[in-house]
Amino acid sequence: MKIRHPEKINKPINPIKKKPNWIRSKLTNSQEFFLTKSIVNQHKLKTVCQEANCPNITECWSKRHATFLIMGEICTRACAFCDVITGKPKALNSLEPIKIASAIKKLNLKHAVITSVDRDDLIDGGANHFYEVIVQTKKQNPTTTIEVLTPDFLRKGDSYKKVIEAKPDVFNHNIETVPGLYRQIRPGSRYFASLELLKNTKKINKNIFTKSGLMVGLGENKDEIIQVMDDLRSAEVDFLTIGQYLQPSVKHHPLDRYYTIEEFDELKNVAISKGFLLVSSSPLTRSSYHADEDFAVLQKNRLSQTNAQSIS
C-alpha cells in the first residue's frame, strides 16, 4: 500500500495572493439590495453579478443596478480568468426577453446592462436572442438606455449585425487581456477577431457608443497594455475600462501581481491621452460598474467633442 505524502494532499494549484488594503468590497444591508435580489429571483433570472462572483454586487444592487445574464448560466468556453460554469448549455428560454424587460421595469432602471455567456453551440451565437431582449426591453421601457456586453460571435459570420440592428445605446465587448496572453487566458477566443467586432460595430452605426474592458495583473507589462489601447483606438472604441484581475480560485490562472492605485491612475491618464471619450480605471472597475453614471458622462463628452470639432 502506497503512503500518500500529507504535504501533497489538497495542495493548491495556484495559491491565491492576499488582497492589499486598497482592495475592499463595500458591504451593505440596505433594503434596496434585498429588493433587487427579490425581483431577480421572482423572475427566475440570472445575473453576471452572481454567476461571476462580482466584488461590487452589494454596492450595485443597493442602487437597484443588476447586470442581466441571458441565455443561461453555462458557458461553452473555459476562459482561465472566469468563474462562470463551463459545460453544455440548455435550450434558450423564449420567454426570457419578456422577463428581462419586466424586471427592468420593476427596478425602474434608467440604464440597463445585458450580457451573456458564450453560446458557440448556437448557429448565430445568440445574436437573435440579444435582438429580442433589446427589442422587448425598449418596448416596455421606452426611456431606458440599453448597454450590451456581447461575446465575440467567433465563426458566426455576420450574425453580430443582428445585435447592432436592435440599436443598443452601448455595444461592449471586452478585449480582456493583451494578445500575448490569449492562448493562456482566452484559448477559445482570438484577439484580432474581438478588435474586428468592435471596429465593424462602429462602422455600421456611428451613433452607438463602443466600449471594451481590460484586466491587469495577469502577467502583462505596461508596453503591452499601451499597445492594446492603441489597437482599441484604431477600432474607434469610445470607452475603456481597466480593472484588477482577482483570481477566483486555486484552479484559475494565477495572479501575477496587484496594481497600485497610482498605477491605475497612470494607466487612466495614458488612455485619456490616446483619445478615449471616457476611461474608468481602478482596482474594482468592472464592465458594468457605474454604467448608468458613465453613460451620462459619455453623452456629455461626445457633445463637447462634437462642439469643439464644429468650432475648429
**Model confidence pLDDT, tens digit, residues 214-259:** 999 999 999 999 999 999 999 999 999 999 999 988 889 999 999 9
Q: What is the DSSP letter of 281?
A: E
> Is 262 exposed, middle or buried (CB count within 10 Å of its CB: 0-12, 13-18, 19+)?
exposed
Residue 200: what residue type? N
**Model confidence pLDDT, tens digit, residues 253-279:** 999 999 999 999 999 999 999 999 999
Among 83, 16, 26, CA closest to 56? 26
| pLDDT score at 4 | 35
**Model confidence pLDDT, tens digit, residues 279-304:** 999 998 888 777 778 888 899 999 88
Assigned C-alpha cell, 172: 461592449
Name the band, by pLDDT with cuts 50, 70 and 90, for residue 11. Answer: very low
Q: Is the pLDDT of residue 6 over 50?
A: no
- In whole angstroms, what separates CA 187 from the centre of its chain? 18
Helical spans, DSSP H, in 205-252: 222-234
Which domains, ranges and CATH numbers included, belong to the chain?
27-311 (3.20.20.70)
Q: What are phi and psi of 12, to 5 degrees?
A: -60, 145
> Is 54 exposed, middle or buried (CB count within 10 Å of its CB: 0-12, 13-18, 19+)?
buried
d(CA 203, CA 207): 10
**CB burial readout 216-241, b (16+ within 10 A) else e:** bbbbbeeebbeebbebbeebebbbbb
Q: Is the pLDDT of residue 1 over 50?
A: no
pLDDT average, residue stretch 201-216: 97
* H or E element, residue 116: strand 111-116
d(CA 299, CA 238): 11
pLDDT average, residue stretch 63-84: 85
How many CB atoms lie under 10 A from the CB of residue 155?
A: 10
Average pLDDT of the chain is 87
Q: Is the pLDDT of residue 12 over 60?
A: no
| pLDDT score at 231 | 98
**Model confidence pLDDT, tens digit, residues 19-73:** 888 777 665 556 766 666 666 666 665 665 554 555 555 666 566 566 788 999 8
d(CA 176, CA 251): 19
| pLDDT score at 5 | 40
| pLDDT score at 48 | 53
Assigned C-alpha cell, 152: 465575440
Q: In sequence order, what are the residues at sequence separation of 6 or more whose Cβ sits closer than 8 angstroms to the Cβ of residue 310?
A: none
